[in-house]
Amino acid sequence: MTPIVSVFAASPDGGRGLARDMAVRWALIEAGVAHDLRPLSFAELKTPEHKARQPFGQIPTYETDGQTLFESGAIVLHIAEAHDGLLPADPAARARAIAWMFAAVSTLEPVIVEREVAVLVEGDRPWTPERLPLIAARLKARLADLADALGDKPWLEDDFSAADILMICALRRPAAMLLMPEFPALAAYVARGEARPAFLRAFADQKARWQADQARRA
Ligand code: GTB
């Protein structure tokens, strides 16, 4: 069976490739795995049928023969374990790359998302002006530590890996990109990832889908 990835039928990101299916699409293309898409509306996300795939009614999911996975980090790890080229062969280096995958989704991304929620969801609340600088300081500290760890290396470990896919997808979110001028090494890291042929193809695919949806609505 050709694997199926569930994606937004109409992504609210305006075709910028910011939703979490982007990491899964990028990983699949890096690994040379052909796949189909299951576009879902917001209403379809919350149906029992989709919640059987994704308990929280979200995208992405990844369906293969006899198995349905959710959580973009777990899906990317599964793809990287099943195909060559996305994780180091050496066990110690592999374990470190996996540690960086967890760092992307559990140490970096939550602070980035916290800032987005503070602005987009809680922007008009009375506590926001006081809270926002605290969140921004936490995010800057995380980015500074990440920049230190990356140093002048092109990728988190010796070679490009699934960890870079998850980390770069987290850094591409607007709250982090706003701060990139303060972290030129991270900006260059994101640009390196975005220049990879597999990223460019995944980006073009999601953009084409978004444009087709816009045309349908016009
Ligand atoms: N931890 C889960 C994972 O990594 O798979 C989180 C999945 C998740 O947040 N999915 C979001 C979703 O399905 C889409 S990616 N939301 C619908 C819902 O919860 O009802 C988050 C996202 C959404 C929109 C933008 N954007 O517009 O820029 C960016 C990122």
User: Which of 59, 114, 171 has most ligand 1 atoms within 8 Å of its beta carbon, as the pocket-test mutant?
Assistant: 59
Q: Where in the sequence is the domain holding 69, given as residue range(s)?
A: 4-85+198-217
Site of tokens 């999911």: 61
- CA-CA distance, 112 to 121, in Å (whole number)? 14
Tens of pLDDT along 138-183? Answer: 999 999 999 999 999 999 999 999 999 999 999 999 999 999 999 9
Task: Give residue 144 CA to ligand 1 midpoint distance, Å.
Answer: 25
Q: Whose CA is nearest to atom 2 of ligand 1?
A: 71
Instruction: Say whether both 174 and 124 belong to one domain.
Output: yes
CATH number of the domain within which 76 lies: 3.40.30.10
Q: What is the mean pLDDT of residues 50-69?
A: 96
Please indicate, yes or no, whether residues 134 and 58 belong to a single structural domain of this protein.
no
- Residue-wise pLDDT for 30-41, tens only, equals 999 999 999 999
Q: Is 72 in the pocket of ligand 1 (CB under 6 A)?
A: yes
Could you tell me if 51 and 136 lie in one domain? no
CA of 124 to the centre of ligand 1 (A): 22
Sort residue 14 into left (φ over 0), alpha (ψ -120 to 50) or beta: left
What pLDDT does residue 177 have?
A: 95
192 & 202 share domain: no
pLDDT over threshold 90, residue 106: yes
Residue in the structure block whose two tokens are 């990832």: 193
Q: Of all atoms in ligand 1, which is nearest to the CA of residue 75?
A: 5
Q: Are residues 155 and 189 in the same domain?
A: yes
54 CB less than 6 Å from ligand 1? no
Q: Tokens at residue 74, please?
A: 């777990």
User: Of ligand 1's atoms, which has the minimum distance to the CA of residue 73?
Assistant: 4
The residue nearest atom 6 of ligand 1, judged by CA position, is 71
pLDDT of residue 66: 84
DSSP 56-110: TS-S-EEEETTEEEESHHHHHHHHHHHSTTSS-SSHHHHHHHHHHHHHIIIIIHH
**pLDDT tens digits, residue range 83-104?**
999 999 999 999 999 999 999 9
pTM: 0.97
User: Is 90 exceeded by the pLDDT of residue 196?
Assistant: yes
Do 152 and 191 share a domain, yes or no? yes
CATH of the domain at 112: 1.20.1050.10
